[in-house]
Chains A and B, each alone.
Chain A
Amino acid sequence: MTARADFFAGTQAIVPILLGVIPFTLIAGVAAVNAGIAPVQAISMSIIVFAGVAQLAAIDLIDRTAPIAVIILTAIVINLRFMMYSASLAPYLRQLTGPMKWLGAYVLSDEAYAVSVTEFRETSPEERSREWFYFGAAAAFWMAWQVGTIVGVVVGTAIPEGLSLEFAVPLTFMALLFQALTDRHTEVAAVVAGVLGVVAAVLPFNLGLVTAALIGISIGVILDIRVDEFPTTEGTSEGHNRGEST
């Protein structure tokens, strides 16, 4: 098919997901403003970082004036999954050159990844251009993310704080959490991380989250090793076409 048709096919594929993501982007904008981040900076955050869960976690830590190193480390640990997506998409995008390659990496999101991989499994490269489809999906999602943040920032400065809107953040994460639990070992890893998160809240320098997450991940790996299932690679790339939000 033509470049244009493939591009818009990508956009079409991701539009249904945008509906579920809009609350997320609004929350990101509102939360940033409530944390004392200037509106221009709040909007820029979505451009510079462009990763929802990490943005929200970072905003919370910034709000509490957590140590700088911890904030950065937390964001990186949360975003480690992008390395997985990068690896999974790399073969499909290998014909991109120069700036397009860099751009392709920049617009990578959970959602663009999920719809693209699904499409690439169902069509051949002759039927559907990998590059154009991916960019159609990724660009649409990127735009929606920026617009949503801007709206959230504008609305955020107008809403009084007493509505506890920041509670919508852990609520969103809850839904994403259950989407992410694909088998027993990931469930155990999550339970361990959750319980440890409660306990590790006493750690200084807001290190609780990173510590709990890393230990949870380790437990999961150990469980896989114990039953000779490490590394489990089948399904890691496929397990994300469920509309996980960034």
Chain B
Amino acid sequence: MTTKYGPNTIWLLFLAAGLGTYALRLSFIFLFGRLDEVPATVEGVLRFVPGAVLAALVIPAILSLSLDPTLRLAYEPAKLLAGSLAVVVAWRTESVLATIGVGMVTLWSLQVVI
């Protein structure tokens, strides 16, 4: 399970992502003095980005809809169970280490059994 992209394409990807991200980082630091303040509208929208993005990353990693071969829910039982437990841990502790610890141990334990 690895990429079909060759090194040159990967450099291209990194540079594009890197430059795009740098533009975002530089944006107001560079513009300050030209713009008096951040448009409030921009701030109002951006505040939803972290939560939405992270949720869109996390949930499908454990459970997703698939058309292959027909419409079904795709998941790995061990990961779904370990992931569900980890969500509770994450919710309660908001700790990266605790979530990884519980999640991985649960996954490994289940993989032995399932």
Q: Which residues of A contact B (CB under 8 A)?
A: 20, 23-24, 34-38, 41, 44-45, 48-51, 53-54, 57-58, 62-65, 68, 71-72, 75-91, 93-94, 96, 101-102, 104-106, 108, 163-165, 167-182, 185-187, 189-202, 208-209, 212-214, 216-217, 220-221, 224, 230-233, 235-237, 239, 242, 244-245
Q: Which of B59, B91, B94 is within 8 Å of A198, CB to CB?
A: B59
Within 8 A of A (CB), among B48-62: 48-62
User: Which B residues are CB-close (under 8 A) to A85?
Assistant: 25
Number of A-B contacts (CB under 8 A): 307
Query: Which DSSP category, helix, strand, loop or mixed, fits chain B's interface?
Result: helix
Query: Which DSSP category, helix, strand, loop or mixed, fits chain A's interface?
Result: helix
Complex Cα–Cα for A220 and B42 (A): 13
Which bracket fits the contact residues of B? Answer: 35 or more
Complex Cα–Cα for A240 and B90 (A): 17
Complex Cα–Cα for A182 and B108 (A): 32
Q: Mark B22-33, 1 if CB is under 8 A from A, else 0.
A: 101111111111
Contact B51 A20 (CB under 8 A): no
Complex Cα–Cα for A189 and B99 (A): 22
Contact A90 B54 (CB under 8 A): no
Interface centre among A64, A71, A104, A208 (most CB of B within 10 A): A71
Contact A54 B21 (CB under 8 A): yes
Contact B60 A82 (CB under 8 A): no
List 6 A-B pairs, minimum CB-CB distance, nearest first: A231-B44, A36-B2, A216-B52, A220-B48, A201-B64, A90-B32
Look across to chain A and name the residue whose beta carbon is closest to the beta carbon of B31.
Answer: A90
User: Which A residues are CB-close (under 8 A) to B58?
Assistant: 170, 173-174, 177, 194
Q: List 19 A-B contacts (CB under 8 A).
A: A34-B2, A49-B17, A54-B17, A62-B5, A77-B49, A79-B24, A86-B25, A87-B43, A174-B58, A176-B96, A185-B48, A194-B55, A194-B58, A198-B63, A200-B60, A201-B65, A212-B52, A235-B47, A236-B44
